[in-house]
Amino acid sequence: MNKVRVKKHLGQHFLNDEAIAKAITDLLSKDANKVVEVGPGMGVLTKFLILKNIDLKLVEIDKESILYLMLHYPQLEKQIIEADFLKLNLPEEIGEQFALIGNFPYNISTQILFIVFENKDLISEIIGMFQKEVAERILAKKGKQRGILSVLLQTYYDIEYCFTVNEDVFSPPPKVKSGVIKLSRNKVKQLPCDEKLFKQIVKVGFNQRRKTLRNALKSFSLERELAHTDLLRKRAEELSVEDFITITKVCQNKEK
């Protein structure tokens, strides 16, 4: 078995540049003991991960890729989890803190990042290849690229843009460039406000992103409480994580 057939419905674009693959795996922190790779495919990252002194798990949904990995890396047979990562119960399946790595399929990359947010206390770092536009969106501190995920992930992770990857090193080549980013869990254990409400306010703000927050958050009736600030005159894309926390705390105090 020489190669795995590309399956478009799985968003497969196999990286075939080993120097880039090694550069991605070298971004792992030295204290990353348990590592989960999502969508290993034909093992271009796996090849370098097995050289590290780590407890490695591979999550793969494609049966053909699993067969390929078992043939070429038989020592990993018991470490392969045949599953859809999006449906995996991470606390149950992995059970302890781990680093996440992968050349993530573009069609599910944002869903993967929402799962990261929901499991932030379990996932210590993420090293991933994304569509360049998505990678830049995650890092954006303000402007049109900033969105719900930007705020949620920046709340709990320090995020670094590592490097850009051109289209011609994939098979088949995607139509866009890729970006490799690293997210490292920061020291925030608990927000000084209700996290569920914080998340709700972020989502409402960005769901009506063309409106100022005075209109987007109208249902929260914050005019009087925030009259001394200019927060309601801004759009969601202009607010920092701290600004959203401030608004959430005001909402909480109103409810008391």
Task: Say yes or no to pLDDT of 256 above 70.
Answer: no
- Block residue for tokens 């003991």: 33
Lowest mean pLDDT, pick from 1-5, 94-98, 149-153, 236-240: 1-5
Indicate if the pLDDT at residue 1 is higher than 90.
Answer: no
Q: What is the per-residue pLDDT for 108?
A: 93
Q: What is the pLDDT of residue 6?
A: 85
As a whole-number percent, the residues of the chain with pLDDT over 90 amount to 88
pLDDT per position as a tens digit, 26-82: 999 999 999 999 999 999 999 999 999 999 999 999 999 999 999 999 999 999 999
Model confidence over 156-212: pLDDT tens digits? 999 999 999 999 999 999 999 999 999 999 999 999 999 999 999 999 999 998 999
Q: Given a cut of 90, is residue 11 above it in pLDDT? A: no
For residue 242, is pLDDT > 80?
A: yes
Domains and CATH numbers, the chain: 8-185 (3.40.50.150), 195-255 (1.10.8.100)
